[in-house]
Amino acid sequence: MTATSLLTDTVAHLQELGFAVETDAPDDPNGETFLDITRNDFSTQISFRPHAGLGLFISDDAYGQRPDEVYRNAEKAANRVDQLFRQFEKSGSIGYLTLVDMRKLNNLSQVELAKALSIKQPSVNRIEKRENIKFETLAKHVAAMGGRLEMRVVFDEMEARLEIPTSQVG
């Protein structure tokens, strides 16, 4: 998929889901394009950079802020915006990605994920509801969905990726 088709496919998917999309394209074809997305009282923004993907903003606007989530798949990006819209309609606010959101974005049922983890479905349900989850459990959960877990440390004066030895992941 080309960068241009990723952008146009994302706009098409968003519009199919009932969102209004305004595009703010840069003069430089390699520059950053912004998609302003609205539906009813809900609004959010996606930043598109050809070599980085689709950056979705969840946290409050701040100058120079980086996207909270990055997608390289138009349908997943549009579906995530739809998840945020539904969350906004229900509670009046939006939040960061949860294990349930992630599972649904990957089109997996709890039963399918349980099978991939070699556990029973009620265990997946309990893991998804936990407020405190072991790093190893989270890493296995993400891996069963086809991803990998990365950690970052954030201080006022710096941010960095934290390397966790794989022997600690199990």
pLDDT tens, residue order, the chain (170 aa): 677 799 999 999 999 999 999 999 998 888 899 999 999 999 999 999 988 999 999 987 666 678 999 999 999 999 999 999 999 999 999 999 999 999 999 999 999 999 999 999 999 999 999 999 998 999 999 999 999 998 889 898 998 998 877 655 55
Question: Could you tell me how many helices (H) and strands (E) the chain has, helices first?
Answer: 6, 7
What contacts 87, CB < 8 A, 6 or more positions away? 93, 94, 95
Could you give the CA distance from residue 108 to residue 36 in angstroms, rounded to a whole number?
Answer: 29
Nearest to 19 by CA among 91, 82, 86, 87: 82
pLDDT value of residue 169:
52
Tell me 92's DSSP state.
Answer: S
DSSP 37-88: EEETTEEEEEEEETTTEEEEP-SPP-TTPPPSEEES-HHHHHHHHHHHHHHH
Could you give the CA distance from residue 14 to residue 45 in angstroms, rounded to a whole number?
Answer: 12
Structural contact between residues 152 and 162, judged by C-beta atoms closer than 8 angstroms = yes
Structural domains in the chain, sorted by start: 1-91 (no CATH), 98-170 (1.10.260.40)
Tell me 27's DSSP state.
Answer: S
How many residues in the chain? 170
What contacts 1, CB < 8 A, 6 or more positions away? 9, 74
